[in-house]
């Protein structure tokens, strides 16, 4: 029994050291660290194909700005998580849970796969599913929301595959490539709350 307890402590210690949050079949999520603000990350945010639906595209990015964003997320009640492959521990993108509204027990979820070589492999869908699982089981949230550009077909598919339902469409709210684009809002509810009385 003592050996079993020891092994549990060692396992937790390893997990904490590696900043694991939750692990899936092909990927795991961990905390984004300041050291992740590197040239690879900067290249992602500067690539017009990768950032076409990211609001960061409106400003010239730098490693200093990325570091500031990572630090700000911690202060703004948000969990900024790195999407990493199980196979080689490669950081391929990010997913953010937040800002979290503690009173209403809700949060936004946003994400991107920065490594174009890893597109089309289902990593974004799995990342969203893991983030929702963590939000519901660990953070005890009632509902998660995700907003996407109407023309972002890939992200629309990701959310549907992850179990999100379309809740609202705000017409012509975004300016995208000199055209107006819709803001489509999706949500998913924690089923554990179904029997609760408010």
pTM: 0.86
Q: Which of 14-18, 85-89, 107-111, 152-156 has the lowest mean pLDDT?
A: 14-18
Identify the residue whose tokens are 């959310």: 159
> Do the beta carbons of residue 73 and residue 98 sit within 8 Å?
yes
pLDDT tens track for 118-158: 999 999 999 999 999 999 999 999 999 999 988 899 999 99
CA dist 139 → 32, 73, 106 (Å): 18, 16, 10
First-to-last C-alpha distance (Å) of the chain? 43
Strands (E), the chain: 20-23, 27-31, 79-85, 91-101, 106-113, 143-149, 165-176, 179-189
What is the model's pLDDT at position 55?
A: 73
> Do the beta carbons of residue 33 and residue 71 sit within 8 Å?
no
* 13: pLDDT strictly greater than 80: no
The average pLDDT across 37-54 equals: 90
Domains and CATH numbers, the chain: 19-193 (3.40.630.30)
């Amino acid at each position: 029994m003592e050996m079993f307890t020891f092994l549990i402590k060692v396992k937790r210690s390893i997990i904490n050291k590696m900043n694991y949050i939750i692990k899936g079949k092909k990927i795991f999520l961990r905390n984004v660290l300041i050291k992740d603000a590197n040239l690879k990350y900067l290249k992602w945010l500067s690539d017009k194909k990768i950032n076409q639906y990211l609001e960061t595209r409106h400003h010239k990015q730098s490693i200093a700005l990325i570091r500031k964003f990572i630090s700000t997320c911690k202060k703004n009640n948000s969990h900024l998580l790195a999407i990493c492959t199980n196979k080689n521990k490669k950081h391929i993108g990010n997913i953010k849970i937040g800002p979290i509204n503690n009173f209403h027990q809700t949060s936004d979820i946003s994400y991107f796969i920065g490594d174009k070589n890893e597109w089309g492999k289902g990593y974004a869908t799995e990342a969203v599913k893991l983030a929702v699982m963590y939000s519901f089981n660990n953070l005890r949230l009632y509902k998660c929301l995700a907003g996407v550009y109407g023309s972002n077909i890939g992200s629309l598919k990701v959310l549907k595959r992850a179990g999100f339902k379309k809740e609202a469409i705000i017409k012509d709210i975004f300016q995208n490539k000199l055209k107006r684009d819709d803001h489509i809002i999706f949500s998913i509810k924690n089923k554990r709350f179904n029997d609760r009385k408010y």
